[in-house]
């Protein structure tokens, strides 16, 4: 798509802009920052086209509070793009994350997935539920048993993606989700408006094996249903025009064992609003994830945490 570029925004720039963003975007002090919480373990799963690099602004904000953070890159993407091949499947990407949990011997993990990363974390939760504390869908797809990502999209969207795979992806790669140029997708759809961020991301986006989108999730472990789950809706991403995410938010508001959040950010808050996202994740670290807790309507904010509206 584009050749690699120099490193992205500096740590000083990231932390400075993140601190400013926390005040401007959230306007509140996180309870976890004021009171302190026990060390949490976050595993952050990126979506299609991106890589573990995309979390660069958020990881220092969580680590500086004493938490552990892992940002695996899925096979065929990011710095692992050289491994791309037609055999890479959704199961491969699930295995990528499961291996991090097992080889690092991680337990009580807060597993976060954005967008198509929701497919991956659903599979991971089914594979190793005893290693997880919470499963967090950040503006992400929430599949049921036997569903693929394209099953959650309107039929015309699937057709457009299949055409891109055929014309530009050698029959097995999806270069982007729509015919629009990547820069226009970043700016107009995903809400990345900073020239620095756009340049940083464009240099690192890579085509994604299409099986990431068309392979179904298979759910086999009843224990996975006992995990606490959270859906976070990024309200500035096609509000009212993305039926899948709007349905998932409504489901989370109505289902015991789920929590719902809405934040005033675009679709990639770890790029555009890292401080606001970090605050939400830090608050989740104070929740046990027990599905026995009552469902939470984020409109009424009954758990005492800010709503980020």
283-293 residue pLDDT tens: 999 875 544 33
The pLDDT assigned to 290 comes to: 46
Q: Is 115 a catalytic residue?
A: yes
CB hemisphere CA count around 301 (13 angstroms): 8
Residue positions counted in the chain: 309
Locate 62 and state its tokens.
Answer: 């969580």
The pLDDT assigned to 34 comes to: 39
Distance spanning both ends of the chain, measured CA to CA: 36
- Rounded average pLDDT per 10-residue block, the chain, 309 residues: 40 42 34 59 98 98 97 98 98 98 98 98 97 97 97 92 97 95 94 97 98 97 92 83 86 95 95 97 78 40 36
Q: Which of 17, 30, 115, 148 is catalytic?
A: 115
For residue 11, give every residue at least 6 positions away whose Cβ sits within 8 Å of its Cβ, in sequence order, or none.
Answer: 60
Report yes or no: 212 and 93 within 8 Å, Cβ to Cβ: yes
Q: What is the DSSP string of 19-63?
A: HHHIIIII-S--HHHHH-----EEEEE--TT--GGGGTTTHHHHH
Mean pLDDT of the chain: 85
């Amino acid at each position: 798509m584009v050749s690699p570029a120099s490193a992205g925004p500096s740590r000083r720039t990231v932390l400075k802009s993140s601190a400013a963003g926390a005040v401007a975007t959230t306007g509140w002090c996180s309870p976890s920052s004021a009171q302190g919480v026990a060390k949490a373990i976050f595993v952050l799963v990126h979506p299609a086209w991106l890589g573990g690099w995309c979390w660069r602004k958020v990881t220092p904000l969580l680590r500086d509070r004493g938490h552990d953070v892992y940002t695996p890159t899925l096979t065929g993407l990011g710095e692992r793009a050289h491994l791309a091949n037609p055999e890479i499947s959704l199961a491969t990407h699930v295995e990528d994350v499961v291996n991090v949990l097992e080889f690092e011997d991680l337990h009580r993990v807060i597993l976060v997935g954005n967008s198509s990363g929701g497919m991956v974390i659903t599979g991971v939760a089914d594979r190793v539920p005893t290693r997880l504390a919470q499963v967090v869908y950040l503006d992400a797809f929430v599949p049921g048993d036997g569903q693929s990502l394209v099953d959650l999209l309107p039929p015309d969207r699937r057709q457009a993606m299949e055409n891109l795979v055929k014309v530009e992806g050698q029959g097995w790669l999806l270069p982007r989700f729509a015919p629009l140029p990547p820069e226009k997708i970043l700016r107009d759809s995903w809400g990345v408006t900073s020239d620095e961020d756009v340049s940083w991301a464009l240099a690192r986006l890579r085509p994604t094996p299409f099986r990431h989108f068309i392979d179904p999730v298979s759910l086999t472990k009843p224990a996975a249903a006992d995990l606490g789950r959270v859906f976070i809706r990024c309200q500035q991403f096609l509000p009212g025009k993305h039926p899948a995410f709007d349905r998932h938010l409504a489901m989370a508001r109505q289902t015991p064992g789920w929590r719902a959040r809405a934040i005033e950010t675009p679709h990639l808050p770890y790029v555009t609003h890292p401080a606001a996202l970090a605050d939400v994740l830090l608050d989740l670290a104070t929740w046990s994830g027990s599905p026995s807790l009552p469902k939470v309507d984020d409109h009424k904010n009954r758990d005492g945490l800010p709503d980020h509206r």
